[in-house]
Structure 1
Amino acid sequence: MTVTSPVAPAPISLRRNFWRGVGRVLRRKPSRMVGVAIVVLFVFMGIFGPLLYPNPLPRDDNALYASPSWAHPFGTDFEGTDVLALVVTGTRYVLLAGLATAVITVALGTLIGLLAGFHRGRWDTVLMRLTDLQLTIPGLPLLLVLSTVWKFTSPIEMGVVLGLLGWGGIARAVRSQSLSLRERGFIEAAKGLGLPTRHIVVRELLPSMAPYIAMNMLIAVTGAIYAQVGLFFLGVLPFDANNWGVMLNLSVFGGGALSSTAALPYLLAPLLAILLLTLGIVLVVDAMDEIFNPRLREE
């Protein structure tokens, strides 16, 4: 009587191999581990940051624009509030708006691009004309008009608007990928078996594009961060919420950070946060490119 050793189910085995591969890719370049650590740090700040400080933040009238010190690593602002606390508590708004923008941008762009590329014909024509129309809409003037009637107090509201204005490029790119993949053998085989279109798109076509979509989602987060911070910096949106763009605006136009060194730490702190978060996302995208690209893994 022979005893066979237990064999792990195929999905579990594939999952373990995938995460082992992810670990190898991250360890291959220490910079990628740094990128993951930076992104995790900002996610932690966004989730738990506001819980670490009282609301409202304490002010010190005797320490207006105080220089950096152990008590205030980035100094204080014009109200004597710790700048580091402002950066940490403002992270949640920035990340939520960026994530909402990325989800809507990628979801709409992927859906429209997949339908247009897979069906072609009349569907392709209608959806691509709709995409062209979206790409021609000037985002900044439209936001200027909307800001007169919509206060954008919620980061989700900000994300919805930015997402609806930014899906065109993703739709174009996904359509190109769909046109290429629909001619592959496994798609032709699925059509030959008589599988429904929904099954082919969701189970066959979409998984093949998942890595590309995931990387575009991370890139969309950075674009959304730049957009919202820029709008607050320009004063287009009301300052009803604390975030990095509001800090930049108040430091430059209120504190004269470009002409005086007193408010310079107040300006540099949010800029450093934006730089670090962008760097972290770029390093993670670099790792994802190798994880999902067999040729890069072989090299």
Structure 2
Amino acid sequence: MFKTFLVSGKVRAGLALFLLFILLALFGSWLTGVGPRTIDYDALGAAPGGVHPLGTTSAGEDVLAQVLVGARGSVLVGLVTGLVSTGLAVLVGVVGGFSGGRTDKVLTVVTNVMLTLPGLPLILIIAGYLREPGPVTIGVLLGLLGWAASARYLRAQTMSLRNRDFVAAMRMVGESRTRLIFAEVLPHLTGLISALFLGGMVGGVLGEAALAFLGIAIPDTVTWGTMINESQQQSALLRGMWWWFGPPGLCIALLGSAIALLNFGIDEVTNPRLRSARA
């Protein structure tokens, strides 16, 4: 399956971009000789060139250093959001869809309630009570409020799988519900779960950028979202300082594109119709 997954050029491009951002998140801070908050008083708001390949901010901070360091915070938020939202979606959607009865009714009510909650305003209220929320806290909040739609997809697919012949046969030989879920149902949902995780990761990166743009971030921390927020506060667009907000915005767009390409590949591998059409 993995070889089939890598056949597509779109998948290879998406995987290369995705791994690049992961490497930047892990080692980006080591690639620059200056800190993201180090001030160069001789280059305040300087355009790209010389010792500052991506220019500096109005305070003289190196934009390249901020982009490299900011990758860690943004990718961390995305990973935490994807893990939390996908984990809750699997727990609620698969358990409810397979169990049925009262358990399914209760979990469906919880899912419907979560779908009706206004996510962004609620996060703003919660973050307002939390002093200086970090990337992990932001990711957990986004994940806790972003799992409901994924749970409904998984519930529908699980309800279809639980009535299949192979599940009924294993139930007749006395297999426990837990083993049926983990050994028979979840393997058939791997592609969908992977796609939901990647979608949750994109939502986390975009959500962090939106919250940082609104001022919900720890002071002096650097993410792509805080860079865009600071450039907006200093009127970088009006002053023509495109190198300040352009690179973080481009990184967010490229990361989203990479994950979208990976999703295409997952869909081609797990969807029989797309496999046959590609063949």
- TM-score norm. by structure 2 comes to 0.93
Letter in 1 for 2:216: V
- Which digits, 9 at most, give the CA deviation of each residue in 1:37-58, with x for residues without a partner? 1111100000001223354643
- Which digits, 9 at most, give the CA deviation of each residue in 1:197-237, with x for residues without a partner? 00100100011101110011001111111111001012234
The question of whether the paired residues in 2 share the 8 Å contact of 1:105 and 1:164 is answered with yes
Query: What SS does the corresponding residue of 2:129 show, helix, strand or coil?
Result: coil
Residue segments in structure 1 that go unaligned for 5+ positions in a row: 1-17
The question of whether the paired residues in 2 share the 8 Å contact of 1:76 and 1:83 is answered with yes
2:116 corresponds to 1:136? yes
| Candidates 248, 268, 272, aligned match of 1:290 | 268
| Candidates 170, 173, 185, aligned match of 1:205 | 185
2:5 corresponds to 1:22? yes
CA distance in 2, matches of 1:75, 1:149: 36
- Which digits, 9 at most, give the CA deviation of each residue in 1:81-112, with x for residues without a partner? 21111011000011111101110100011110
CA distance in 1, matches of 2:119, 2:181: 31
CA distance in 2, matches of 1:294, 1:129: 33
The question of whether the paired residues in 1 share the 8 Å contact of 2:36 and 2:65 is answered with no
CA RMSD of aligned residues (A): 1.6
Aligned match of 1:35? 14
Displacement of 1:162 in angstroms is 1.0
Aligned match of 2:102? 122
CA distance in 1, matches of 2:37, 2:30: 11
Displacement of 1:168 in angstroms is 0.7
The question of whether the paired residues in 2 share the 8 Å contact of 1:229 and 1:245 is answered with yes
Aligned match of 1:6? none
CA distance in 2, matches of 1:282, 1:19: 18
Q: 1:69 to 1:104 in 2, by over 3 A?
A: same
Displacement of 1:22 in angstroms is 2.9
| Candidates 102, 117, 128, aligned match of 2:82 | 102
Q: 1:70 to 1:280 in 2, by over 3 A?
A: farther
Count of residues in correspondence between the two structures: 276
Aligned match of 2:171? 191
Letter in 2 for 1:267: F
CA distance in 2, matches of 1:292, 1:71: 48
The question of whether the paired residues in 1 share the 8 Å contact of 2:35 and 2:65 is answered with no
Aligned match of 2:159? 179
- TM-score norm. by structure 1 comes to 0.87
Letter in 2 for 1:285: N
2:258 corresponds to 1:280? yes
Letter in 2 for 1:292: T
Displacement of 1:63 in angstroms is 0.7
Query: What SS does the corresponding residue of 1:148 show, helix, strand or coil?
Result: helix
CA distance in 1, matches of 2:131, 2:258: 31
The question of whether the paired residues in 2 share the 8 Å contact of 1:59 and 1:81 is answered with yes
Query: What SS does the corresponding residue of 2:68 show, helix, strand or coil?
Result: helix
Letter in 1 for 2:30: L
2:23 corresponds to 1:44? yes
Letter in 2 for 1:187: V
Query: What SS does the corresponding residue of 2:56 show, helix, strand or coil?
Result: coil
CA distance in 2, matches of 1:276, 1:105: 22
The question of whether the paired residues in 2 share the 8 Å contact of 1:251 and 1:264 is answered with no
Displacement of 1:180 in angstroms is 0.9
2:42 corresponds to 1:62? yes
Displacement of 1:64 in angstroms is 1.0
CA distance in 2, matches of 1:174, 1:196: 20
CA distance in 2, matches of 1:146, 1:245: 19
Matches within 5 A, 1:65-80: 65-80=45-60
The question of whether the paired residues in 2 share the 8 Å contact of 1:151 and 1:237 is answered with no
CA distance in 2, matches of 1:151, 1:78: 27
CA distance in 1, matches of 2:158, 2:2: 27
Aligned match of 1:215? 195
2:67 corresponds to 1:87? yes
CA distance in 2, matches of 1:122, 1:220: 29
